[in-house]
Amino acid sequence: MSLFFKKSKSRLSQKEPRLSVSRKYDLRPGRSYIVQESPPHMSFDAFVNIVSTNAGAGKGKTAGLAVTRQHPELIKEKYGLEETPVYWLATRTGDKVISPTNLGILAHMLVKFAEDTDDGIIILDGIEYLVSNNDFTKVLRMVDQVNDHISQSGCRLILPVDSRAFDQKELALLMRNMDKLA
């Protein structure tokens, strides 16, 4: 192993180095999970645990993709993510930044990851920010579209939600096709 690493182009399906911890969350492929919490500690704990451990039974590592309202460098440092791509929902421009008003690009990226990855996990942190920049119905349509592709793939989706940001009807619509992770 070399002390110097060649910087490679970022890909959506890079995998984290294996840690010597066991998998403590049993999130089934093809399922989407909603987590009612603020801040999203359990959601990121589940995400990091799954990308950092072997799936078992001879299966390899799980590829991850994180989309968050929090700055990517803070997420990488806080959770020890080295290889997993982390995209930032922000109004700035730059590499690995997605505008909250561009739901089409966000949906395309998430769907492409789900279609191209045999065993993957996505965390979409910042649904409240997306709703504050778009109509709730448009965001719900985007989440449902991604959820449809997740259900036909080997991927999983974790959607942390601060229930205080939604009325009961909106929360019920978000939860209707997802499993609850508690």
pLDDT of residue 58: 53
How far is CA 76 from each of CA 44, 86, 99, 161, rounded to the nearest angstrom?
11, 8, 20, 21
Q: What parts of the chain have a pLDDT lower than 50? A: 1-10, 19-20
CA distances from 163 to 66, 67, 94, 154, 174 (A): 21, 19, 30, 28, 10
Predicted pLDDT at 21: 56
Element (H, E) at 72: helix 72-79
DSSP state of 58: T
- The residues pairing with 68 across neighbouring beta strands, listed in sequence order, are 88
Domain 31-180 matching CATH 3.40.50.1820: the answer reads: no
d(CA 72, CA 90): 11
Domain boundaries, the chain: 31-180
pTM confidence score? 0.85
On whether the CB atoms of residues 103 and 130 are closer than 8 A, the answer is yes
The pLDDT assigned to 24 comes to 77
